[in-house]
Amino acid sequence: MQRLAKFSVALLAVMAASRSADAAPKGLTVDDMLAMQRVSEPAVSPDGKWVVYALRTTDMAANRGRSDLWLAAVDGSSNRRLTAAPESESSPTWSPDGKYVYFLSSRGGSSQVWRIAPNGGESEVVTSVPADVGGFKVFPDGKRLLLAIEVWPTAKTLAGSIKQDEEHAKDKSSAQAYDGLLFRHWDTWEDGKFSHLFVWTPPELGGKADDALDVTPGLTTDAPTHPFGGMEEIAIAADGKALAYVIRNSGKANAWTTNTDVFWTSTDGRSKPVNLTVDNQAYDFAPTLSPDGKTLAVLSMARPGFEADRQRIRIIDLGSKKVRTLTEAWDRSANSLTWSPDGKQLYTSTDNVGSQSIFSIDAATGAPKLLIDKGDNAQPAVAGNRLVYLRNTLRQPTEIFTAALDGSDAKALTHHNDARVAAIAWGDYEQFSFKGAKGDTVYGYVMKPANFNGKKAPVALLIHGGPQGSFGDHFHYRWNPEVFAGAGFAPVFIDFHGSTGYGQAFTDAISGDWGGAPYEDLMKGLDAALAKYAWLDGNRAVAAGASYGGYMINWINGHTDRFKALVVHDGNLDERLAYYDTEELWFPEWEHGGVPYEKPEGYLKHNPIDFVKNWKTPTLVVHGGQDFRVVDTQGMSTFTALQRKGVASRFLYFPDENHWVLKPHNSKRWHQEVLAWISKYAK
């Protein structure tokens, strides 16, 4: 009770400090972060003169975010709001003639496709199907829509699926029965329905307002079905007669295989779909048609079962169906794909030495050319003679930027957060390198506290998840180093072995070695930072991490007592039991070398539960009740172990959150608790 009382005082102090102030300028707080407007989903108009995008604003009263659509001129001359409805608008898409912007909205109670003229006027609903539309694409002729709708796979029509919905609604039992995996995924229990693709034709062109043609029927291997992923996994041919889509179609093996394929099928529902990537048993996705419609670019991984393999660009000739790998010699992992108008280049982004950079790729030779280097840059698109892309850094939330096609003359196109950014005292940061495990060069960042006064500062070692990820120059809304800097800490974050952006061999190094080289990198990286930056106070160091970072916190607790306090968020305690709890079995099977009942040594090699006897560092445990990736019993077990050993500890549980903490008020509480905990022991 005494410990709880002391903690409550610390928590109230942090809350009061975050409310106080008129002390200007101040470091970034959770309130500042939640007030930032979030730019996403940029779409360039057919004439290249405009960009429509979604702008999310946090509604604290409603405890959620809501998005409007905005319109910006590529030349920077105009920027204005396009929609302002009570419900969120998303997925802005231009009509081929540029006369309308189509988008998703649930204004009428269900999610339907709407449209609005970009030069003004009222929005109007386009579709009226008796089901929620999950996504859509406009056909090249502008006369039809392709809709993604969740349906019962045994139904032959959309109307038939709606009828089955009505029958299921009559069942008053709450029971859920399953005959195979996956029975739940991420944060959702499977209900037996799958997303199918429907061609919807307006009534004035002979279609039915409340029905559509299913072009992905069936559930068998020879008649592939449920598309995998969002509308970015679908491409419609220029003549509108065919489309490419991605499926995962391994039946019960979906839980332990990463194989997805790109299929090509007609849009009249009459032809048998053709598997364009049958030769590859790993991931194939992101089909993107060339301007002449003759070839399809896709992203592919080479190793089945490995979700963090290098994403190569492969080119498929739609006439011959021949496939060639374009970027085998490029030791980077391509993200989204965009063709240049002449079909000679592909634009993509990739993790690159602590940044996300934009490259152009020669469509004939695969030669890469760096265009935009530092910061976090993504989703490049072509607008006339310029690139349009999203950009953020550790001290700048995402805005839309433009640059010349060679990457020069980069400048911001939107300025939604300029005033907020200017009012904050940001922690200065820089990248550093050191000799890590195996003698390899390892990179990290160090950040000064906000309003740095030259005095020794407590250190917060922040550990990224993934584990194949990167903690780089990126503005994050869940683990933002600037929030720790705003609270007076000096964040240090290391891209240990296993991180992305340093070549595939470096990424591969973590598999089978979770507590080995990565742990060594973290300890050596912290030592290197302490040696290089005299203002870091190693005697007041704390560590915090989520997902794999949470696992690492549990591992750290059993192997060193150099930290004053720890924070473990959604981290595994027992790798062997975690295998049977999680949903995507391919991940632990790859990382630990097989299934635990045949290869237990991989799960026992670096298992935090075996070192609980050494735990002594005060630890805050955080977990989400809807986390099906790292199930909440792992967090409960961690807290139980700490309590039973008499280690100072606290359990923060969010029953309505998944692997991430997303709701605004929950996010605020998370930050208050985490900062209060580490401040109690290190400041």
List pLDDT tens digits, range 418-447: 999 999 999 999 999 999 999 999 999 999
CA-CA distance, 267 to 352, in Å (whole number)? 39
SS3 of residue 494 by DSSP: strand
In angstroms, how far is CA 147 from the centroid of its own chain? 23
pLDDT in the model for residue 16 = 42
pLDDT in the model for residue 683 = 80
pLDDT in the model for residue 24 = 55
Cβ(158)–Cβ(129) under 8 Å?
Answer: yes
Tokens (6 digits) for 580 = 């049977």
pLDDT for 55 beyond 60: yes
Tokens (6 digits) for 522 = 């973290």
pLDDT in the model for residue 141 = 95
Overall average pLDDT of the 506-517 stretch: 98
Residues in Cβ contact with 648 at an 8 Å cutoff, skipping those fewer than 6 apart: 3, 618, 619, 642
Tens of pLDDT, residues 144-173: 999 999 999 888 899 999 999 999 999 999
CA-CA distance, 343 to 254, in Å (whole number)? 35
CA-CA distance, 577 to 583, in Å (whole number)? 12
Angle in degrees, CA 436, 438, 444, rounded to 5: 20
pLDDT in the model for residue 250 = 79
Tens of pLDDT, residues 389-405: 999 999 999 999 999 99
**Among the listed ranges 4-13, 128-137, 241-250, which one has the minimum average pLDDT value?**
4-13
Q: Which residues of 607-631 are buried (b: 16+ CB within 10 A; e: fewer)?
A: bbbebbeebebbbbbbbbebbbbbb
Q: Phi and psi (nearest 5°) for 255?
A: -75, -20
User: What residue type is 175 in one-letter code?
Assistant: A
Residues in Cβ contact with 355 at an 8 Å cutoff, skipping those fewer than 6 apart: 373, 374, 375, 376, 377, 472, 473, 501
Q: Which CATH class is domain 2-31+421-682?
A: alpha beta
Angle in degrees, CA 500, 482, 628, rounded to 5: 55
Tens of pLDDT, residues 458-498: 999 999 999 999 999 999 999 999 999 999 999 999 999 99
pLDDT in the model for residue 227 = 62
CA-CA distance, 522 to 498, in Å (whole number)? 12
Give the residue with greater pLDDT, 664 vs 120: 664
SS3 of residue 259 by DSSP: coil
Percent residues over pLDDT 70 in the chain = 95
**Among the listed ranges 21-35, 61-75, 330-344, 551-565, which one has the minimum average pLDDT value?**
21-35
Overall average pLDDT of the 46-61 stretch: 97
- Please, what sign has the CA dihedral across residues 588, 589, 592, 597? positive
Q: Are strands 536-546 and 457-463 parallel, antiparallel or unpaired?
A: parallel
CA-CA distance, 43 to 415, in Å (whole number)? 17
pLDDT for 1 beyond 50: no
CA-CA distance, 44 to 51, in Å (whole number)? 4
pLDDT in the model for residue 484 = 98
CA-CA distance, 324 to 316, in Å (whole number)? 7
Tokens (6 digits) for 19 = 């409310």
Tens of pLDDT, residues 626-664: 999 999 999 999 999 999 999 999 999 999 999 999 999
CA distances from 387 to 79, 298, 355, 367, 399 (A): 18, 21, 18, 19, 14
**End-to-end CA distance of the chain, in Å?**
22
Overall average pLDDT of the 578-588 stretch: 97
pLDDT in the model for residue 226 = 53
Tokens (6 digits) for 485 = 């800097």
pLDDT for 3 beyond 70: no
Overall average pLDDT of the 212-224 stretch: 67
CA-wise closest residue to 179 among 166, 194, 190: 190
Residue 318 — left, alpha, or beta (φ > 0 → left; ψ -120 to 50 → alpha)?
Answer: alpha
Tokens (6 digits) for 436 = 């890590």
Residue 3 — left, alpha, or beta (φ > 0 → left; ψ -120 to 50 → alpha)?
Answer: alpha
120: confidence class by pLDDT, cuts 50, 70, 90: confident
Cβ(524)–Cβ(434) under 8 Å?
Answer: yes
SS3 of residue 17 by DSSP: helix
SS3 of residue 361 by DSSP: strand
Neighbour-count burial of 683, counting CB atoms closer than 10 A to its CB (0-12 exposed, 13-18 middle, 19+ buried) = middle
Q: What one-character DSSP code corresponds to residue 301?
A: -
CA-CA distance, 332 to 507, in Å (whole number)? 11
Query: Where are the extended beta strands (E) located within 363-440?
Result: 368-372, 376-383, 386-393, 396-404, 411-412, 429-435
Tokens (6 digits) for 72 = 């910006």
Tokens (6 digits) for 47 = 């004439």
CA-CA distance, 383 to 360, in Å (whole number)? 15
Task: Give the relative orientation of helices 2-19 and 664-682 as an angle to the nearest 10 degrees.
Answer: 120
Query: Where are the extended beta strands (E) located within 242-362?
Result: 242-247, 261-266, 274-275, 284-289, 295-300, 312-317, 323-325, 338-339, 345-352, 355-362
Angle in degrees, CA 630, 633, 637, rounded to 5: 115
CA-CA distance, 1 to 154, in Å (whole number)? 58
Averaged pLDDT of the chain: 94
pLDDT in the model for residue 32 = 98
249: confidence class by pLDDT, cuts 50, 70, 90: confident
Overall average pLDDT of the 77-85 stretch: 94
Q: How many CA atoms lie within 13 A of 234 on its CB side?
A: 29
Q: What one-character DSSP code corresponds to residue 635?
A: H
pLDDT in the model for residue 2 = 40
Sheet with 234-236, side-by-side order of all strands: 234-236, 242-247, 261-266, 274-275
pLDDT for 19 beyond 50: no
pLDDT for 523 beyond 70: yes
CA-CA distance, 211 to 580, in Å (whole number)? 42
pLDDT in the model for residue 112 = 97
CA-CA distance, 496 to 187, in Å (whole number)? 28
Q: What one-character DSSP code corresponds to residue 38?
A: E
